[in-house]
Amino acid sequence: FVTHISKFKTVAVTGGSSVASIPAYIDKENDASNLLFVAARGGGGQYIGLQANVIAASFAEACGGSYSPFYYPESLSAEAHEAFRKEPSVLKMIDLYDEVDCVLHGIGDAQTMANLRGSDAEERHMLNEEGAKGEAFGYYFDRTGKVVHRLRTVGIRPEQLKRVPLPIAIAGGRSKAEAILSYMATAPKQTVLVTDEGAANEMVNLLTQ
């Protein structure tokens, strides 16, 4: 893993259990001290161990590199969001996203992610009505890959992701099949999907129905 990404300079990582599981398996004998790990999306919520900032620090420790945290309050009002996104630290991170060479990100089931984030009944109902199946980077996607909802936060934007040389999507398990298909329907063409047999078999079943 480190051998493949050590040629890059800046790696962005998202939160989630799949991405969080990787640092423990990184061979610490590889020298990747040149790598800077950053959170792909600002945030701060209940499940601190699965947040992008913590995971970025874990990658940096495992690789011998460095990391840059990005704390951005969730559940801001529209007015507070507009004010906060003009802060120097936020503007600095937005600029840094233009320099990202590699992105490691998960793909979540839409309703599961909404529940984890404590979304109210109205938002969960809206996601269901809009046919949301998958989530990544704070965006919710329907079966065709169309964005049907997005969180009020700051992170890597779709146009920036399209310019990243190596986006790696990581998701597995039979229950994630629909979510994976929804995201991959319009994912950047250079995206590499890392999944498992359970998800792969179920995706084949869904695609051949």
pLDDT digit string, tens, across residues 102-116: 999 999 999 999 998
Average pLDDT, the chain: 89
Q: Which residue did the predictor score with more confidence, 10 or 30?
A: 10
Partnered with residue 166 across adjacent β-strands are 102
The band of 97, judged by pLDDT with boundaries at 50, 70 and 90, is very high
Nearest to 26, CA basis, from 49, 40, 11, 5: 5
Higher per-residue pLDDT: 202 or 77:
202
pTM for the model: 0.90
In whole angstroms, give the CA distance from residue 65 to residue 10.
Answer: 10
Q: What is the pLDDT of residue 177?
A: 97
Residue type at position 82 = E
Q: Nearest to residue 108, comparing CAs of 12, 11, 10, 199?
A: 199
